[in-house]
Amino acid sequence: MTLKPEIGLISLGCPKALVDSERILTSLKNHGYEIKKDHNNADLVIVNTCGFIDSAKKESLNTISEALKKNGKVIVTGCLGVDRKTIFKACPKVLAITGPNEPNQVLRVVQKQFPISTKHLRNFLSPIGIKLTPKHYSYLKISEGCNHKCQFCIIPDLRGNLKSRRIDEVLIEAENLVTAGTKELLVISQDTSAYGLDLKSNHPLEKQSNIFNLCDALGRLGVWIRLHYLYPYPHVSKIIPLMVSKKILPYLDIPFQHSHPDVLKRMKRPAHNNNGTKLIESWRREEPGITIRSTFIVGYPGETEVEFQHLLDWMEEVKLDRVGCFKYENVEGAKANNLPGHVDEKTKQDRWNRFMIKAQQISKAKLEAKLGTTQEVIVDKVDTEGAVCRTVADAPEIDGNLFIDQNFSNLKQGQIVKVKVDESNEYDLWGNLVD
């Protein structure tokens, strides 16, 4: 072992878990531990797990097992950490198990394994801590947990009820990130539109902590502000004027999950009154350039062919810009497991295929409509072959890209430039710099 213990970390799952991983690594670095990018030769490995669906649980258990074989000393944290019995049964040699969003517990386990007497370094490190994203964009987690009782989801069991951060705390973090070079802030939580609804005291800053005030304040920082994981509540419409005035990006990530009111009712989704179409129409009237991304579940228990066709027809009607689709699968502890009418795997796959064909057709047509237009893009990567960028309509990792393959050598990561679009396919764009 080196003089200073080297700690590795494997982060699985969603961006919210990635933020937890950043906090864990920052805490360890603050207390004198070395962080090793290649976890294979680390003195100890932390596996931040996902436990949202059974396939994610399987991936997490496999990752823990591999880390034990290669490193020997492994701490498990994250969403799967609430299922200690399953982890210990599959991987009995792990050092410790903690739940999600518990950096202090992880730190204590590491300190027990590798006690070091190093002076606390907090005052000497960057105020943004360790980031696992590129320098030019950052995830800004504004709350933890969720108050909804969706039948297919166990997030409230994993992460608890909604717990919002006060607006001043969020803004301080955002300002530090921008000062350190962040050009795009991606606002995330389990339910971004519910931000602040749990803060009930008479403290002035708690009263100010709502999604509109937060977006309004973030919009003054002079960087791209992108909203993720909103529910289709009517009050989301209050945010649209901030898009019109270019304070925040005209982009909404809203997981509709389905269109048919009976399916939404069985899911116990908060939008089962099926007001999605009217909301989308009103948002587009106010901000014609808005991008709406969403995710859907096909093959939910009881889903009939008529209900699925309703979804395809609805997709054709509303023409969402970016969509993802998942085949329903049981999750241990979810109430949907006990619903009647489970759909067989062959039908699920068929419906997924048909959904994706429809989604690709819509996406291709929408991107073709951008040919000849000038788009503002942010540069994610530059290499010898070209520049990989994203438009205002594209979030990192989950949406498309815009590629520049001429006159790109002077571009820098994080730079925001204008590009004229001259080529497209189902998901991506190509273009040339505008002088």
One of 3.40.50.970, 2.40.110.10, 2.40.50.140, 3.40.30.10 is the CATH number of 374-433, namely: 2.40.50.140
| Residue range(s) occupied by CATH 3.40.50.12160 in the chain | 6-123
Amino acid (one-letter) located at 332: E
| Residue range(s) occupied by CATH 3.80.30.20 in the chain | 137-368
Distance in angstroms (rounded) separating the CA atoms of residues 387 and 407: 9
What is the DSSP code string of 21-89? HHHHHHHHHHTTPEE-SSGGG-SEEEEEE--SSHHHHHHHHHHHHHHHHHHS-EEEEEGGGG-HHHHHH
pLDDT value for 53: 80
Class of the CATH domain delimited by 137-368: alpha beta
Distance in angstroms (rounded) separating the CA atoms of residues 236 and 232: 7
Distance in angstroms (rounded) separating the CA atoms of residues 138 and 182: 6
Per the structure block, which two tokens stand in for 111?
């300190």
76 - beta bridge partners?
Answer: 47, 97
| Residue range(s) occupied by CATH 2.40.50.140 in the chain | 374-433
Distance in angstroms (rounded) separating the CA atoms of residues 417 and 136: 14
pLDDT value for 148: 86
One of 3.40.50.2000, 3.65.10.10, 3.40.50.12160, 3.50.50.60 is the CATH number of 6-123, namely: 3.40.50.12160
Residue numbers in the chain where pLDDT is lower than 70: 1-3, 117-127, 271-274
Distance in angstroms (rounded) separating the CA atoms of residues 401 and 430: 8
Q: What are phi and psi of 432, to 5 degrees?
A: -125, 150
pLDDT value for 127: 64
pLDDT value for 405: 93
Helix, strand or coil, per DSSP, at residue 340? coil
What is the DSSP code string of 358-385? HHHHHHHHHHHTTTT-EEEEEEEEE-SS
Q: Where are the alpha helices (DSSP H) in 101-165?
A: 103-113, 155-159
Distance in angstroms (rounded) separating the CA atoms of residues 24 and 46: 9
What is the pTM assigned to this prediction? 0.89
